[in-house]
Structure 1
Amino acid sequence: MKTAFSYGLSGIMLLALLVTPFTFAQLIPSMELDDSLQTDPVLTKIAYRNPAIESIPYDWAQRYPLIAHALGGIGGYPGTNSLESLKRAYRSGLRVFETDIVVTSDGHLVLRHDWVAGSYPVLGQTVPKSQELGPMTLAKFKATKIQHRYTPVSFKELVRFMSAHPDVQLITDTKEPDSFTAASIFKLIVRETSEVDPQVLRRIIPQLYREDNFEAVSGVYPFKQYIYTLYMNNDSMDEVVDFASRNEIRVVVMDENKYTAEFVDALWKKGIYTYINTINDVGQIKRYMNSGVQGVMTDFVIPADLRRDASGYRQKTKIAGVPD
């Protein structure tokens, strides 16, 4: 594996949140957070088995080739963003997590792909009547199980988990290419994180979808790490390399249909890591990494899978989280 340089939301309600965020917050009933995210003794013990990776921006990319997509899959289901999938992935040695973030009707951040009708059957949930479609309240979201068994997670609960597990890095997926909306969501992310543990902000990695997202998001908070993902834009190779390099963004994520060895090499020459999404086949992962890709987003592959299938695998750094 190559080693690169180490560097450095709806409508009126949303507008109200932006104009008077703290006053608005006081109008929303407080919700009790799920302590199981924080107090699991097994997870807490594991957390301190490895050092925190929060001090050096992008250090995680040198050590962790796997990013848990939507907090990792569980029970054969991808994309649950659930408590159980988070715990499973963490126990399996994953330390870098990507999660979907949306806003509830009462203004809270929660982990869910979106509120459209098509997402309900994917999550094993009953599609609401058309007049009821749209964001749930936080209370309803928390009460609606995923696949009839898995626990939905609010953003604040995830922050509490990160506070208790200082080796966890979080990549956001807000799915908002519009810069005004992106900035709006990140104001909520910064506010909710600060209300739990401001130090966790150092380990939150915004995922950008268009070039103008960078100025919008960095204007909200001086994040030290970013990911530029390509599935929502049609930037050329040269445009991507120039933008990422100019703004010291050291990780680019692309789909397989945008991968070329030339693209990866051009990024590499500027000290930029390439990750591919979403790959669940160990053989494919190995082939990509042998061609210069730093790692992948994955639903089900865990570090031990790479360790078991390491023959002919040019791994120049230790796969973190897996004992030798």
Structure 2
Amino acid sequence: MHNRAAKWRRTASAALLLASLFASLSTEAENHSVTAAAQVVGDVNGLDNTPSIDVKVPSDEELLPENHFVPAASPDMKGMDGLDDTPSGDEKASDNEEVHPESHPVKAIAHALGGMDGYDYTNSIDAMAASYEAGFRMFETDLILTSDGRLAARHDWGAYLQPSEPEELADCQLSSEEFLSYKIYDQYRPTLLEDVLEFMEKHPDTELILDTKSLEEEEVLQKFSQIVRTAEEKDSGLLDRLIPEIYDQEMLDAVESIHSFDKKIYSPYLTDDLEPEHVVDFMLGNGLTDIDLQTDEVSWPLIESLKDNGLGFYIYTCNSTEEAEEYAGMGAEGIMTDFLGPDL
């Protein structure tokens, strides 16, 4: 009995010793886990509580699965290198919110006197009246010569504009009588220069950009002689509200020989010279402060050159609110549109 009790006591002692050893090992392992966590998390409450123990922190490459996409940092984003990326004030942008340049008010210009019922290039006095009623005060019109030498507000002589004209007249230069005989898109009144100027005489808060569509000197002289004469017959003050588009140096010289307009706008669409240095030199050399550009002529080097030299730019033709906002954000002075409202 005594030997059995002694054996039992030795067995119990061994068991207690093993239990104590396992408890000690478990505590040490737990302490190591806490230490590793403290090493990763870092300083808590401003006190250095990280024991001096080497803990291997896995790299980004080890943490991320293979082929995981990591977006490149945007040059406009801050915070990833410790810089303050918190917006000032109470307003904060969401992670997905796009940031656009701050826009500014731009002049809204009714292109080709304004679109109507989904039709563009109307160049009709009906469209001009509707655009004015909608709030437009600046207009643009195309001017071409009829066969008897009068200026018609029309983009070209394509039959699509006056579909009711006889087949023998289709795509031909019309006389003023023929032009006035068929409605634009079978709905709107065909319009001559004098009709537009008469409207402007009755509405002294209007301005008009003139696209005369010609580089040939004789035709330029013919058109601008008629423009000046017709305006003076009505009200010489109208000339101060007419803004001819200038295409190149020879055209400018011809126009200036007829009348020195207070306002002019450079329009390179007939020459296609969009080299920034050439554009800026031509404008500064001739006292031109603004240029109008087709949407496909816009480039950042050109825009930056214009802005660096204090020159303004207009855009045509834009019928998208989103695009209009983008051009305004780029610094456009004005936007020609067929269908957008006057409050761009």
CA contact (8 A) 1:80 1:123 kept: no
3-state SS of 1:195 partner: helix
Aligned letter for 1:71? Answer: L
Cα distance in structure 2, aligned partners of 1:156 and 1:140 = 17
> Cα gap change, 1:127/1:263 in structure 2, threshold over 3 Å: closer, same or farther?
farther
Deviation of 1:160 after TM superposition, in Å, equals 0.8
Deviation of 1:255 after TM superposition, in Å, equals 1.7
Question: Corresponding residue for 2:150?
Answer: 108
Question: Corresponding residue for 2:309?
Answer: 270
So what's the TM-score if we normalise by structure 2?
0.66
Map of 1:196-211 to 2, 5 A cutoff? Answer: 196-211=234-249
Given the alignment, which residue of 276, 285, 290 partners 1:251? 290
Question: Corresponding residue for 2:108?
Answer: 66
CA contact (8 A) 2:246 2:267 kept: yes
Map of 1:48-59 to 2, 5 A cutoff? Answer: none
3-state SS of 2:293 partner: strand
Cα distance in structure 2, aligned partners of 1:135 and 1:256 = 29
Q: Given the alignment of the two structures, is residue 151 of structure 1 paired with residue 193 of structure 2, yes or no?
A: no
The runs of 5 or more residues in structure 1 that have no matched partner are: 1-61, 307-324
Cα distance in structure 1, aligned partners of 2:254 and 2:122 = 29
Map of 1:106-185 to 2, 5 A cutoff? Answer: 106-115=148-157, 119-126=158-165, 128-129=167-168, 134-185=172-223
The runs of 5 or more residues in structure 2 that have no matched partner are: 1-103
Deviates more, 1:288-297 or 1:85-94: 288-297
> Cα gap change, 1:127/1:270 in structure 2, threshold over 3 Å: closer, same or farther?
farther
Aligned residues: 240
Q: Given the alignment of the two structures, is residue 229 of structure 1 paired with residue 291 of structure 2, yes or no?
A: no
So what's the TM-score if we normalise by structure 1?
0.70
Question: Corresponding residue for 1:303?
Answer: 342
Structure number with greater Rg is 2
CA RMSD of aligned residues (A): 1.9
3-state SS of 1:101 partner: strand
Deviations along 1:182-209, one digit per CA (max 9) or x if unpaired, are: 1221111111222222211111111112
3-state SS of 1:124 partner: coil
Deviation of 1:144 after TM superposition, in Å, equals 1.0
CA contact (8 A) 1:159 1:197 kept: no
Deviation of 1:63 after TM superposition, in Å, equals 6.9
Deviation of 1:114 after TM superposition, in Å, equals 2.0
Cα distance in structure 2, aligned partners of 1:240 and 1:217 = 19
> Cα gap change, 1:188/1:161 in structure 2, threshold over 3 Å: closer, same or farther?
same
Aligned letter for 1:136? Answer: L
Cα distance in structure 2, aligned partners of 1:114 and 1:243 = 28
Structure 1 vs Structure 2: percent identity of aligned residues? 34
Question: Corresponding residue for 2:250?
Answer: 212
Higher RCO (C-alpha under 8 Å, 6+ residues apart): 1
CA contact (8 A) 1:265 1:292 kept: no
